[in-house]
Amino acid sequence: MAQARINGIALRGIVSALPVGVEDVADLAGRFGADQAERIATATGIRRRHIAAPGQCMSDLALPAARSLLDGLQWADDSVDILVCVTQTPDHPLPATACLLQHRLGLGKRCAAFDVGLGCSGYVYGLWLAASLLAAMGRGRALLVAGDTTSHTLDRHDRSVAPLFGDAATVTALEWDVTAGTLTVDVGTDGAGAPYLIQPGGAARQPDGPLLFMDGTQVFAFTLREVPKAIAATLAAAGSDIADIDHVVLHQANEMMLKRLGAKIGARPDQVVLAMTDRGNTSSATIPLAMTDALTASMTTGRRRLLLCGFGVGWSWGTALWEAGPVHISQTLLISQEGSVIPAG
**Within the chain, where are the H helices?**
25-32, 34-44, 58-73, 97-105, 122-137, 216-238, 255-264, 286-294, 296-299
Q: Which residues contact 272 (CB under 8 A, 6 or more apart)?
A: 248, 250, 258, 259, 262
The CA–CA distances, whole Å, from 113 to 65, 105, 107, 131, 175 equal 17, 12, 10, 14, 16
**Coil, strand or helix at 142:** strand
The CA–CA distances, whole Å, from 301 to 67, 248, 323 equal 23, 18, 13
The one catalytic residue among 85, 111, 254, 281: 281
Cα radius of gyration rounded to whole Å, the chain:
19
Catalytic residue flag (residue 254): no
**Cβ atoms 152, 59 nearer than 8 A:** no
d(CA 270, CA 268): 5
Catalytic residue flag (residue 251): yes
The one catalytic residue among 99, 111, 251, 254: 251
Residues present in the chain in total? 345
The one catalytic residue among 120, 247, 254, 309: 120
**Cβ atoms 189, 125 nearer than 8 A:** no
**Cβ atoms 214, 163 nearer than 8 A:** no
d(CA 150, CA 28): 17
Catalytic residue flag (residue 120): yes
Q: Which residues contact 7 (CB under 8 A, 6 or more apart)?
A: 135, 178, 180, 181, 182, 183
- The per-residue b/e assignment along 254-263, b for 16 or more CB within 10 angstroms, e otherwise, is bbebbeebbe
Backbone φ and ψ for 198, nearest 5 degrees, come out as -155, 145
**Active site amino acids:** 120, 251, 281
